[in-house]
């Protein structure tokens, strides 16, 4: 490897992007860099500006200010050739209900210069058995997998996934994750994922950005973010008298060593819990709301 | 002539230099036209297979035939059967309905479901969509028109154009009539809020025009101010033009001006066609531009709250 992908021009680059609707600022200076072949997750509570950010990148919304480059072009001036290099999977699509699955996929393949083979694509998303079925009759998960197939039929270099697994059962979700990983690892597709699902973000994303209150509050690998949490590690064990104990500490290793030293033997029910991505996330959201809204911090443990 | 050329290698690991997506085998515009025509063909097949929608179109034809069979007098002041006037009027109404009722409804529904957004996100999707819709509308309109005229001629002694001139008139009035209503219908479909309200908003004026435009009885039996208002809209002129093609020349005595006024027919329909195009292009562009995922979600939420079935 002579040129690592990170030195190349990023696929998505945003600098100081702001957005205001009727005097209300929704985004206050968002910066983003997403590199080729990367799975990038944008996390944030409802109303944080996720949708606005993604729609600006998709070219569906005009930003108020700032610089944006997606696949080397300004999305506001993206032409058909540019469109052809982008794939889109949205939550709300209920279109083409009367079409048959294979018919729809084959039709959308005709718009692209070098499409995937529709039959192979159906196999890839696990819809071969539904090829002749009417789109209307698909289950929610099948419909979403068809949306994914339609999103990648033109071999996009950049794929937008908007809350892709909402309403999936665990198995369908797992299969979907495998599919996204394959696209990114084997075919070098860059993926921008928006999600509420922290487990999904942690599982899929190379890097995660947390958008809270119209600002990127944190950005990094899942591990980096988890470590950045203000929350400390938690050590749990069962004391000699049988009562469960827990203690928060910056240095769990030291605490465990001390416990062992004092006990001079094995310790029942010993468990070390590292701060999780969820801790970081809730901490960010909590900070933003600053105690004004109790709803979101119901799960936040005292830090 | 070079030797063999490898056009694509799908599974090589290092496809990092971004080809730019312009190495298509055909010119893009040709690909979009092809996609549009294919799309139109598929939509047409879906229409033919959809019993609900097909029965809607067929019902119009049946109603026209029943009314034509029911009326037995002649058009006042002529020896032309009233049934022929009714059939010519219904033929005009069919074109009018396809352009100004069915088309806007289709556009609003597909916009709401997200088809427009998907095509917007697809290279060449919007031009292909328009090509497909034109094909669908023209085939539907001409198909029902011919079905009405031929079945009327077969079963109800209905009128058919007299000679080449009559057929020619039928052709240009149909063409110009569609040009007058289809872009207008597209413009309406671009601005109407949602399918449920759209139908109510369109049907009332349409029914009003059906009654006041002299389609099912001679317009001269209506008060002059009503005639004047109806004369502003295309339906009156489409019906008059089709009568000139389908009815014997002597029947023009029953027309308000005592003649077919074909130049006026052409003029009014052309004016509506121009107006329709002027409105449709920016409005459709605006409708497509405004589509985005969040708007789609908002509409679905709203529809769900108002109790509409969300599949």
pLDDT bucket at A187, cuts 50 / 70 / 90: confident
The mean per-residue pLDDT over the stretch B247-252 comes to 89
Residues of chain B with Cβ-Cβ distance to A84 below 8 Å are 21, 123
pLDDT bucket at A294, cuts 50 / 70 / 90: very low
Q: Hey, are the CB atoms on B293 and A8 less than 8 Å from each other?
A: no
- Look at residue B311 and tell me whether its pLDDT is greater than 80: no
Higher pLDDT, A21 or B17: A21
Q: Which of residues 148-187 of A touch B (CB under 8 A)?
A: 150, 154, 157, 162
- Look at residue B171 and tell me whether its pLDDT is greater than 60: yes
pLDDT bucket at B308, cuts 50 / 70 / 90: low
B179 Ramachandran zone, left/alpha/beta (phi>0; psi -120 to 50)? alpha
The mean per-residue pLDDT over the stretch B119-124 comes to 90
Q: Hey, are the CB atoms on A92 and B125 less than 8 Å from each other?
A: no
Residues of chain B with Cβ-Cβ distance to A188 below 8 Å are 13, 15-16
pLDDT bucket at B75, cuts 50 / 70 / 90: confident
The mean per-residue pLDDT over the stretch B41-52 comes to 92
Q: Which of A86, A95, A154 sits opposite B110 (nearest CB)?
A: A95
Task: Name A302's Cβ contacts closer than 8 Å, sequence gap at least 6.
Answer: none
Task: List, in sequence order, every residue forming a beta bridge with A195; answer none if it has no partner.
Answer: A43
- Look at residue A208 and tell me whether its pLDDT is greater than 70: yes
Biggest alpha carbon distance in chain A? 72
| Residue B167 confidence (pLDDT) | 94
Higher pLDDT, A170 or B8: A170
The mean per-residue pLDDT over the stretch B40-49 comes to 94
Task: Name A8's Cβ contacts closer than 8 Å, sequence gap at least 6.
Answer: A35, A36, B16
Q: Hey, are the CB atoms on A58 and B8 less than 8 Å from each other?
A: no
Q: Hey, are the CB atoms on B311 and A80 less than 8 Å from each other?
A: no
Share of chain B above pLDDT 70, in %: 89
Task: Name B8's Cβ contacts closer than 8 Å, sequence gap at least 6.
Answer: A114
Pick the closest to residue B87 from B200, B270, B251 (CA basis): B251
Q: How do the domains of chain B map onto residue ranges?
A: 28-292
Q: Taking the CA atoms of chain A, what radius of gyration do you get in angstroms?
A: 23
- Look at residue A8 and tell me whether its pLDDT is greater than 90: no
- Look at residue A190 and tell me whether its pLDDT is greater than 80: yes
**Quick one: A31 exposed, middle or buried, by C-beta within 10 A (0-12, 13-18, 19+)?**
middle
CA distances, A160 to each of A86, A92, A214, A250, B204 (Å): 8, 14, 19, 38, 43
Instruction: Compute the count of residue pairs across chains A and B with CB atoms less than 8 Å apart.
Output: 113
Q: For residue range B234-249, what is the model confidence (pLDDT) as tens digits?
A: 999 999 999 999 999 8
Pick the closest to residue B89 from B104, B75, B72, B106 (CA basis): B75
The mean per-residue pLDDT over the stretch B209-232 comes to 90
Interface of B with A (CB under 8 A): 8, 13, 15-16, 18, 20-25, 28, 31-32, 34-35, 38-39, 42, 46, 50, 110, 113-115, 117-118, 121-125, 128, 291-294, 296-297, 300, 310-311
How far A185 CA lies from chain B's nearest CA (Å)?
Answer: 10
- Look at residue B292 and tell me whether its pLDDT is greater than 90: no
Q: b/e for B248-268, b at 16 or more Cβ within 10 A?
A: eeebbebbbeeebbbeebeeb
Rounded to the nearest 5°, which phi and psi values hold at B106? Answer: -60, -45
Residues of chain B with Cβ-Cβ distance to A80 below 8 Å are 28, 123-124
DSSP B36-58: HHHHHHHHHHHHHH-HHHHHHHH
| Residue A165 confidence (pLDDT) | 81
The mean per-residue pLDDT over the stretch A175-182 comes to 89
**DSSP 8-state assignment for residue B216:** S
| Residue A73 confidence (pLDDT) | 93
Q: Hey, are the CB atoms on B35 and A83 less than 8 Å from each other?
A: no
CA distances, B50 to each of B45, B53, B57 (Å): 9, 6, 11
| Residue B24 confidence (pLDDT) | 43
Rounded-to-integer distance, Cα A135 and Cα A130, Å: 9
A83 inside 8 A of chain B by CB: yes
Structure token pair of residue A202? 């942690």
Residues of chain B with Cβ-Cβ distance to A108 below 8 Å are 122
- Look at residue B96 and tell me whether its pLDDT is greater than 70: yes
Residues in chain B: 311
Q: For residue range B101-110, what is the model confidence (pLDDT) as tens digits?
A: 999 999 999 9
CB A78 within 8 A of CB B21: no
Rounded to the nearest 5°, which phi and psi values hold at A297? Answer: -100, 20
Rounded-to-integer distance, Cα B104 and Cα B27, Å: 31
The mean per-residue pLDDT over the stretch A188-200 comes to 90
The mean per-residue pLDDT over the stretch B88-112 comes to 92
- Look at residue B93 and tell me whether its pLDDT is greater than 90: yes
Task: List, in sequence order, every residue forming a beta bridge with A238; answer none if it has no partner.
Answer: A244
Residues in chain A: 303
pLDDT bucket at B262, cuts 50 / 70 / 90: very high
Best interface-test mutation with A: which of B50, B51, B118, B297 has the largest number of A CBs within 10 A? B118
Structure token pair of residue A62? 């005009």
| Residue B18 confidence (pLDDT) | 39
| Residue B1 confidence (pLDDT) | 39
Per DSSP, the three-state class of B35 is helix
| Residue A24 confidence (pLDDT) | 85
Strand pairing category for A244-249 and A271-273: unpaired
Rounded to the nearest 5°, which phi and psi values hold at A67? Answer: -115, 135
Rounded-to-integer distance, Cα A144 and Cα A163, Å: 10
Share of chain A above pLDDT 90, in %: 39
Residues of chain A with Cβ-Cβ distance to B39 below 8 Å are 107
Task: Name A109's Cβ contacts closer than 8 Å, sequence gap at least 6.
Answer: A115, A116, A118, A153, A154
Best interface-test mutation with A: which of B46, B286, B293 has the largest number of A CBs within 10 A? B293
Q: Domains in chain A, start-ordered, CATH in brackets?
A: 10-225 (3.40.50.300), 227-296 (no CATH)
Best interface-test mutation with A: which of B294, B296, B297, B308 has the largest number of A CBs within 10 A? B294
Average pLDDT, chain B: 85
pLDDT bucket at B307, cuts 50 / 70 / 90: low
CB B47 within 8 A of CB B136: yes
Query: Chain B residue with minimal CA distance to A98?
Result: B46
| Residue A230 confidence (pLDDT) | 59
Average pLDDT, chain A: 85
pLDDT bucket at A292, cuts 50 / 70 / 90: very low
Q: Hey, are the CB atoms on A91 and B293 less than 8 Å from each other?
A: yes
**DSSP 8-state assignment for residue B26:** S
A215 inside 8 A of chain B by CB: no
pTM of the model: 0.81
Pick the closest to residue A132 from A100, A108, A107, A98 (CA basis): A100
| Residue A231 confidence (pLDDT) | 61
- Look at residue B226 and tell me whether its pLDDT is greater than 80: yes
Helix (H) or strand (E) holding A192: strand A190-195
A84 inside 8 A of chain B by CB: yes
Residues of chain B with Cβ-Cβ distance to A107 below 8 Å are 35, 38-39, 42
């Amino acid at each position: 490897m002579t040129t690592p992908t990170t030195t190349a021009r990023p696929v998505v680059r945003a600098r100081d992007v702001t957005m205001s609707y009727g005097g209300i600022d929704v985004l206050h200076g968002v910066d983003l860099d997403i590199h080729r072949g990367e799975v990038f997750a944008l996390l944030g509570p409802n109303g944080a500006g996720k949708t606005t950010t993604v729609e600006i990148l998709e070219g569906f919304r005009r930003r108020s200010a700032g610089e944006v480059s997606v696949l080397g072009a300004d999305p506001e001036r993206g032409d058909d050739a540019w469109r052809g290099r982008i794939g889109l999977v949205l939550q709300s699509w209920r279109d083409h209900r009367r079409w048959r699955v294979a018919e729809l996929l084959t039709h959308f393949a005709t718009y692209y210069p070098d499409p995937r083979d529709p039959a192979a694509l159906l196999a890839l998303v696990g819809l071969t058995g539904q090829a002749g079925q009417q789109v209307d009759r698909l289950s929610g998960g099948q419909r979403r997998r068809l949306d994914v197939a339609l999103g990648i039929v033109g071999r996009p270099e950049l794929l937008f996934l908007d809350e892709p697994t909402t309403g999936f059962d665990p198995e369908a979700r797992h299969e979907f994750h495998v599919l996204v990983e394959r696209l990114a690892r084997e075919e070098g597709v860059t993926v921008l994922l928006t999600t509420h699902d922290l487990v999904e973000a942690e599982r899929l994303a190379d890097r995660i950005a947390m958008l809270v209150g119209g600002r990127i509050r944190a950005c990094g690998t899942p591990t980096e973010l988890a470590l950045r949490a203000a929350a400390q590690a938690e050590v749990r064990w069962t004391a000699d008298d049988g009562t469960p104990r827990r203690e928060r500490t910056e240095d769990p290793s030291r605490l465990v060593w001390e416990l062992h030293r004092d006990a001079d033997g094995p310790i029942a029910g010993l468990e070390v819990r590292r701060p999780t991505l969820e801790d970081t996330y809730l901490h960010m959201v909590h900070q933003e709301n600053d105690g004004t809204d109790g709803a979101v911090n119901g799960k936040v443990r005292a830090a | 002539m070079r030797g063999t050329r490898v056009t694509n290698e799908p599974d090589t690991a290092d496809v990092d230099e971004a080809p730019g997506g312009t190495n298509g085998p055909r010119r893009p515009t040709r690909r979009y036209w092809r996609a549009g025509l294919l799309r139109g063909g598929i939509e047409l097949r879906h229409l033919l297979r959809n019993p609900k929608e097909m029965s809607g179109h067929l019902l119009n034809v049946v109603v026209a035939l029943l009314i034509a069979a029911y009326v037995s007098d002649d058009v006042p002041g002529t020896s032309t059967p009233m049934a022929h006037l009714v059939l010519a009027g219904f033929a005009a109404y069919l074109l009018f309905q396809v352009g100004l009722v069915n088309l806007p409804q289709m556009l609003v529904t597909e916009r709401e479901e997200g088809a427009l957004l998907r095509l917007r996100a697809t290279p060449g999707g919007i031009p292909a969509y328009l090509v497909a819709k034109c094909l669908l509308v023209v085939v539907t309109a001409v198909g029902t028109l011919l079905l009405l005229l031929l079945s009327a001629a077969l079963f109800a002694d209905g009128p058919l154009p007299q000679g080449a001139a009559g057929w020619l008139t039928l052709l240009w009035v149909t063409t110009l009539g569609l040009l007058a209503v289809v872009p207008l219908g597209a413009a309406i479909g671009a601005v109407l809020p949602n399918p449920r309200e759209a139908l109510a908003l369109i049907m009332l004026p349409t029914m009003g025009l059906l009654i006041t435009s002299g389609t099912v009885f001679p317009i001269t039996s209506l008060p002059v101010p009503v005639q004047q208002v109806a004369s502003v809209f295309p339906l009156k002129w489409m019906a008059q033009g089709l009568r000139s093609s389908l009815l014997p020349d002597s029947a023009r005595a029953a027309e308000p001006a005592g003649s077919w006024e074909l130049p006026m027919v052409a003029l009014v329909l052309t004016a509506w066609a121009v107006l329709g195009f002027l409105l449709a292009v920016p409005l459709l562009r605006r409708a497509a531009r405004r589509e985005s995922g969040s708007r789609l979600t908002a509409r679905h939420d709203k529809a769900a709250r108002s109790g509409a079935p969300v599949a």
